[in-house]
Amino acid sequence: MLEFTRAGLEQIAVHYTGNKGNGEELSYSSSLFKFKEDFVKDTLLHYFLTPFKNDIYYCFAKSDAIKINDVHSYASEIFRDRSLFFEHSKKIAAHLYHQSNHPKIKGGEFYLTYLRDCVVDGELCDAIGIFKSENKETYLKVYQQQEDFEIESENGININKLDKGCLIFNTEQDQGYKISIVDNSAKIAEAALYWTEDFLNIKLREDNFYHTQNFIETCKGFCEEVLSTENNVAKTDQMMMMNRSMNYFKEKDKVNVKEFEKEVMAQPELIDAFRDYRSNYIEENHLAAEDEFQVSPAAVKKNQKYMKSVLKLDKNFHIYVHSRHDYIQKGYDEDMGMNFYKLFFTSEE
């Protein structure tokens, strides 16, 4: 859990990183930013920290900070020696610039901050914040001049919409630090990985979220690839299995894989097929697997979209199936040359 009520902004450096691939420039400020009033500092704290709300944590992909000019090594050196903050802010900005080659990556203001008294999972610690603002919005400025009103438009940053952010908490250094990220432009598939992989070089921590997320992804893959129409499995049966899997995570505090197989898969042949699929999935994706772990509510919430309840039939019908999948049957009508569903019910409302 993250908590910032005591957090303070100690230092901030602002630079500009354009898109190197498009020939845009990298511009450095000459010194640290100096606050002229507390309102600006409070506004920046709101802009930087408000988006960090979930308990999904990452860590640097390398376990130790070797001096290889990456964010991990620069952050470690800043935590050890605050006098390096400004010079390293330029090096980190340059590192981001050199990763900004895809044509869809937008240039923007780069901020490196030093934050004190952040609370992460109950621990009080300092943090290094890395942020980037890419998108500008148009605002109207209305003001009175003598007996009339004037209206002007200005381009600026929406303080409620942080584009990219990263908080590196000064804790668990030997495990690659505890890191939280925001990336609201990750929906652009071609450029989605440049912030997390190319620039930060981070990965999900092997914690409860990691294990819950991977297991849900395994269940999803099993339902889509094994329990498929190509394998003569009805869409309703596929839907039922995914829903039963997700309900297991919603109802349990702890996952035991053997218990999951018994309660959700139930049938011996399905259990064997799931075990084979899971073994291959773990190997192909180089995952660390646990057969027992605590359920992460954040992972369950993130994957709620996989709960399916709607059968979409051509463009004519939607069938909402909330439970009792055994009350719906699929068939094929030879005369019509079309598929059909048969529904059983007791009363009509």
- pLDDT value of position 343: 79
- Cα first-last separation, the chain: 45
Cβ neighbour number for residue 299 with a 10 Å cutoff: 22
- pLDDT value of position 45: 95
pLDDT profile of the chain (349 residues), mean per 10: 93 96 95 93 95 91 64 96 97 95 92 96 95 93 88 91 96 94 77 86 92 93 88 79 87 93 91 94 90 92 71 71 67 82 77
Supply the DSSP string of 319-336, one letter for each residue.
EE--S-GGGEEEEEETTT
Beta strands in 146-243 (DSSP E): 148-156, 164-169, 178-183, 202-204
Q: Where are the domains of the chain?
A: 2-133+160-205, 209-308
Alpha-carbon torsion (216, 217, 220, 225), positive or negative: negative
